[in-house]
């Protein structure tokens, strides 16, 4: 297994298109359709700030878990199109160096390059986080009326689509109503995005629940193939970074739940007055415990150990 922690992706053979909190996107030579290399680093963010050091193997865990979800969702959501083409870069000789190829193993995927809709397609199955804060005040979630008497972290009668704006790096996403999202993406696409987001959440949540994990809520992104006018599921999918995962065994309504993945880090940050501060370095025990949580979630959801999954790669 790649023991190195990669907070920066050492890839110079391909032009870099952009860098997000966790991923670096690289341009690939034109084929039939525009594609890009989607590379996930070991960077981790909490309370919207990127930590100075990373979590070993996190990029591999998120990439292989997303790949698994593309496979699962394809078979469970009728008509779903997604951006995933294959793991790793295209095999064309000389495209990347041998060292780069090794570095990219398990943490990169070739995807269709699409025009991203500028909203976060959030779906919630449970009332928590910013949705709970709003509900407590006004009995609404993203402006939608909800039944009276819901308790903290209670399961909603039906999953709901609660989009947000997609802020630029450093800015905060703002919760909006489905109607406001409709104005942003346009009437033509709004209903289909909502329908796909709900269908992907329902299929994913059912799959996870059989494996002991509650997906309380999650964020999807969608993109448009402007040539065919078709909507694609893009980005990472149903990972601990894009979702709130809770342990089904520990779940209790009426109180906050520990999140499966980042709780150790969040607790350490708040206990030490470091919440939201830049350039914070995690101590080894926080890194180790966080890595263990990400690994556990990967193993529960895929049924494979991380080593097995890496060994299964071509």
Q: How many residues bind ligand ATP (CB under 6 A)?
A: 17
**Which position's Cβ is nearest ligand ATP?**
20
Q: How far is the CB of 242 from ligand ATP (least distance, A)?
A: 8
Taking the complex as a whole, the smallest distance from the CB of residue 152 to ligand ATP amounts, in Å, to: 27
Binding mask 264-293 for ligand ATP (x = CB under 6 A): ------------------------------
- Would you give the binding string for ligand ATP spanning residues 131-170, x where CB under 6 A is met? -----------------------------------x--x-
Instruction: Give residues 21-60 in contact with ligand ATP (rule: CB under 6 A).
Output: 21-23, 25
Binding of ligand ATP by 20 (CB under 6 A): yes
Within 72-131, the residues that bind ligand ATP by CB under 6 A are: 83, 111-114, 116
Q: Kindly identify the residues of this chain, within the stretch 217-256, that bind ligand ATP according to CB under 6 A.
A: 221, 223, 234-235
Q: How far apart are CA 83 and CA 109, in angstroms?
A: 10
**Which residue stretch of 16-24, 99-107, 131-139, 188-196 sits at the interface with ligand ATP (rule: CB under 6 A)?**
16-24
Nearest distance from C-beta of residue 191 to ligand ATP, angstroms: 21
Q: Min. distance of Cβ 81 from ligand ATP in angstroms?
A: 11
- The count of other CB atoms within 10 Å of the CB of residue 7 is 15
| Smaller CB separation from ligand ATP, 150 or 224 | 224
Q: Which is nearer to ligand ATP, 2 or 25 (CB)?
A: 25
| 313 touches 105 (CB < 8 A) | yes
- Closest approach, Cβ 26 to ligand ATP, in A, equals 11
Minimum separation from the CB atom of position 221 to ligand ATP (A): 5
Give the binding site for ligand ATP (CB under 6 A).
Answer: 20-23, 25, 83, 111-114, 116, 166, 169, 221, 223, 234-235
């Amino acid at each position: 297994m790649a023991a190195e922690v990669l907070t920066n992706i050492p890839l110079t053979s391909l032009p870099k298109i952009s860098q997000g909190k966790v991923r670096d996107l690289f341009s690939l030579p034109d084929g039939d359709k525009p594609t890009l290399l989607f590379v996930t680093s070991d960077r981790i963010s909490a309370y919207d700030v990127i930590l100075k050091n990373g979590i070993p193997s996190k990029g591999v865990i998120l990439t292989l878990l997303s790949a698994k979800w593309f496979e699962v969702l394809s078979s469970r959501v009728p008509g779903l199109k997604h951006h995933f083409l294959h793991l790793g870069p295209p095999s064309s000789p000389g495209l990347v160096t041998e060292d780069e190829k090794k570095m990219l193993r398990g943490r990169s995927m070739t995807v269709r390059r699409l025009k991203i809709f500028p909203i976060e397609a959030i779906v919630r199955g449970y009332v928590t986080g910013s949705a709970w804060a709003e509900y407590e005040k006004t009995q609404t979630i993203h402006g939608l009326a909800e039944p009276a008497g819901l308790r903290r972290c209670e399961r909603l009668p039906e999953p709901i689509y609660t989009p947000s704006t997609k802020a630029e790096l450093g800015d905060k996403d703002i919760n909006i109503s489905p109607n406001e999202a409709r104005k942003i993406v346009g009437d033509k696409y709004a209903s289909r995005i909502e329908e796909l987001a709900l269908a992907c959440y329902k299929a994913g949540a059912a799959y996870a629940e059989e494996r002991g994990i509650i997906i309380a809520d999650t964020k999807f992104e969608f993109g448009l193939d402007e040539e065919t006018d078709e909507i694609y599921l893009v980005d990472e999918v149903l990972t601990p970074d894009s979702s709130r995962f809770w342990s089904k065994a520990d779940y209790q309504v009426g109180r906050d739940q520990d999140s499966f993945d980042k709780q150790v880090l969040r607790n350490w940050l708040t206990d030490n007055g470091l919440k939201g501060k830049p350039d914070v370095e995690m101590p080894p025990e926080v890194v180790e415990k966080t890595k263990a949580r990400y690994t556990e979630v990967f193993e529960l959801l895929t049924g494979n150990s991380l080593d097995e999954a890496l060994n299964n790669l071509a």
